Structure 1
Amino acid sequence: MTVAGPDPAPPRARFNPFSAEFRRDPYPMYRDLRAVRPVHRTLGMWVLTRYTDVKAVLHDRSFSAGLIPQLVSEQADRLGQPEVGRIARLGRKSLVFTDNPDHARLRGLVNRVFTAAAVAELRPVAEAASTRLLEHAADAGGMDLIRDFAAPLPIAVLCEWMALPDELRAQVGPWTHDIRFLLEPGLMKAADFARVREVVEDFATALTELVAQRREHPGGDLISRLLTARTSGGDTLTEEELVFVCIMCFVAGNETTKSLIGNGTLALLRHPDQAALLRDDPTMVKAAVAEALRYDCPLQLTKRLATRDVLLGDQLIHAGEQVLVCLGAANRDPAMYERPDEFDLTRDASAHLAFGHGMHGCLGGQLAELVTGVAFGHLAGLRLEPLTDDFDWQDHSFIVRGLKRLPVTVRREP
């Protein structure tokens, strides 16, 4: 008689963000990791995929967000680029990369301008830009939804909020695309580093001149409002801090909002029953944006640096170790959401972590929601048909998930 041996151990799920499969669909990998290796060390860092662990790290201020400036400096040394110029100061003085007390000071000042009321004032701007872009697409009978709509829409809104002159508006898109390398410094080659350094200098110089003009002739635009932001103790933003806030509005907000519009539209095209809910009831647009953020969030991954020993699950993370928090995995955790792999506008998705959590929660989250909501509302009034079912996902970033293109036919509803 043959005696059966023990069941074989389940295969060890491996985190590999470089694979073509991960680019096409990261969620099966996340699902496997949550099941067998929710907290594990690989590629020189700890990888977290459970909602509770991800939220805990984002909430814990002992996990530093200042890792990027350090990685930029290390990459500069590896590339033989000792002169980093204004890049170093941009890293040290940007809300995205700072810890307290610098972060609390900067956030306290900027929050006086980035209010719900100020964002709401931008709705007519977003409506007008969306209408203009989609009327052109409808007249042409089609468009690449990414290139012709999702990409220019958030830039148009930010440019209008800052009241940028036309010649500068034409530069913002290309400059922002180049500077995005700062969010993933390990991807930079020597030529990339030189280009980023040059663009940061050009962008900062142009904005510095604009700040001087607004100081003399203030208006109701974002730059003028940032100039008047003041704490009860009289503290204000320095000129360079204000310039960096404006640059990072584009760098942190444009690519992610573009991808959110694209990812959400693709989800609606793939789930016509959910698209019908939105078309029949425009008040569901807020739910559609929240579910798009949960279901296929544009910022999939972000890093933190442990500054003390912390126990997560049964793993001890030591001070000085890097932690990769998988926002996309957390948002599909079945411990948090029933049927997490289904796109469902009727669920409450408001607790998603697409905008992060805690003190580094996305400053521009409300603006991204407004612009995307306007986009979804306008798209719901059109008949869109994808021209392909073989979707090409961008490969210039490992942390942002978004489509390279989404060709569609466009017809007006009768």
Structure 2
Amino acid sequence: MAETFDPSSPSFVADPYPAYAELRARGRAHWYEPTRQWLVPHHADVSALLRDRRLGRTYLHRFTHEEFGRTPPPSGHEPFHALNDHGLLDLEAPDHTRIRRLVAKAFTPRTVERLAPTVRRLAAELAGAFVAEGGGDLLSAVAEPLPVAVIAEMLGIPEPDRSLLRPWSADICGMYELNPSEETARRAVRASVEFSAYLRELIAVRREDPGPDLVSALIAAHDDEDGGRLGEQEMVSTCALLLNAGHEATVNTTANGWWTLLRHPERLAALRADHGLLPTAVEELMRYDTPLQLFERWVLDDIEVGGTVIPRGAEVALLFGSANRDPAAFDRPEALDLSRACNPHVSFGAGIHYCLGAPLARLELAASFGELLRRAPAMRLVAEPEWKPGYVIRGLRELRVEF
């Protein structure tokens, strides 16, 4: 194990990439005692294991906690697990297959296409107001409000309630970090209770009075093969996941991406000169400094990685940040290349858990970056930002700029 891999260290969180290079050089699978996980740093292995059905986001579809050699979570955490464990991200077949098929009927490419004018309008309004103010914290002024507003619009959440969403999401996502504290769990449980109650009420209203929103579409969706519909808990969990996954990564990609561009002035100048680079630039910014650094999977049946047998009951940590800088998969991976044509990054995952909202995320990122490129051609950094302590979902505390 590479001694420099230390997710609890602020210096590691600020720049984990040298540690990743050391891990890749040392081998393909490494036992990490502090979290009792096998670290997998190579792109080929990460990509293959994301698709390998011998691994799962859960094991409860095949084993009890005791059969799998695991301790059940504390009963006090139940509200968080009720919300989290019924969402697409933490389910396996057959439930995952059924729910994803139903959600896909409502969350269609046409849904995203219909949202495009709203996304561009919101991006223009936020960027325009930020420029008119002369700058400030780009993260809180532009990066955060845009995806929250978009997913709230999509779900049909009334505007006065939208300020509730980001705090709920932040508290719930704290549980995705490595070894979360009991205080983190307490906040996540409280947010899960409040968010679940809010969504149940919203769903009840939409049952009586459907609208042109995603909640109404989820209520109406049914499976033509067996007539199945989403249960209420599945619907609540799906809506919560769409919010959490639908904006946490986009917020951090926006802020991390601008921090990357501001540290590469020649690349930023090239992008300002040619906005046609935006599609490949967005993909490259997601690769270069992905907001989701690690994705966990349970080993349901023994696997072998580079000659190391990883037994059933173990947990693997797929290092997305390392995979995205693997020289075996990317030409000059440490270089920021905004015109990179071959870019098989894993920032959206792969396999059955590939991000359902990837098209919407790309739309939001292109609109946000495009508006700021147009409206703030002289944007510059005020102070070097600090990173939040979280490592799995990795982002800045703020990004202060001026014009």
What TM-score results when the alignment is normalised by the length of structure 2? 0.92
Deviations 1:56-102 (A, max 9, x none): 1111011111169979x95843xxxx233432322331111111111
The alignment partner of 2:328 has SS state of coil
Indicate the residue corresponding to 2:21 in structure 1. Answer: 31
CA distance in 2, matches of 1:68, 1:124: 42
Q: How does 1:7-406 map to 2 (within 5 A)?
A: 14-43=4-33, 44-66=36-58, 74=71, 76-77=73-74, 82-184=75-177, 186-189=179-182, 191-232=183-224, 233-381=226-374, 382=376, 383-388=378-383, 390-395=384-389, 397-406=390-399
- Once the 2 structures are TM-superposed, how far is the Cα of residue 302 of structure 1 from its aligned partner? 1.0
CA distance in 2, matches of 1:185, 1:211: 33
Change (3 A) 1:115 1:283: farther
Amino acid of the structure 2 residue aligned with 1:274? R
8 Å contact kept, 1:394–1:402: yes
- Once the 2 structures are TM-superposed, how far is the Cα of residue 323 of structure 1 from its aligned partner? 0.5
What TM-score results when the alignment is normalised by the length of structure 1? 0.90
Amino acid of the structure 2 residue aligned with 1:212? A
Change (3 A) 1:107 1:336: same
8 Å contact kept, 2:45–2:305: yes
8 Å contact kept, 2:177–2:393: no
Amino acid of the structure 1 residue aligned with 2:189? R
8 Å contact kept, 2:27–2:306: no
The alignment partner of 2:179 has SS state of helix
> Please, which moves more after superposition, 268-277 or 319-328?
268-277
CA distance in 2, matches of 1:22, 1:75: 31
CA distance in 2, matches of 1:142, 1:103: 44
Change (3 A) 1:64 1:121: same
The alignment partner of 1:305 has SS state of strand
Gaps of 5+ in 2: none
The alignment partner of 1:379 has SS state of helix
- Once the 2 structures are TM-superposed, how far is the Cα of residue 250 of structure 1 from its aligned partner? 1.7
CA distance in 2, matches of 1:26, 1:75: 32
Count of residues in correspondence between the two structures: 392
- Once the 2 structures are TM-superposed, how far is the Cα of residue 185 of structure 1 from its aligned partner? 7.0
CA distance in 1, matches of 2:103, 2:71: 30
CA distance in 2, matches of 1:126, 1:377: 12
8 Å contact kept, 1:45–1:324: yes
Amino acid of the structure 2 residue aligned with 1:282? H
The alignment partner of 1:213 has SS state of helix
The alignment partner of 2:347 has SS state of coil
The alignment partner of 2:402 has SS state of strand
CA distance in 2, matches of 1:330, 1:95: 24
Gaps of 5+ in 1: 1-10
CA distance in 1, matches of 2:2, 2:382: 38
- Once the 2 structures are TM-superposed, how far is the Cα of residue 126 of structure 1 from its aligned partner? 1.6
CA distance in 1, matches of 2:260, 2:178: 31
CA distance in 2, matches of 1:162, 1:341: 39
- Once the 2 structures are TM-superposed, how far is the Cα of residue 188 of structure 1 from its aligned partner? 2.9
Amino acid of the structure 2 residue aligned with 1:167? P
Deviations 1:176-234 (A, max 9, x none): 11111232373131x43333222212211111111121112212111111111111132
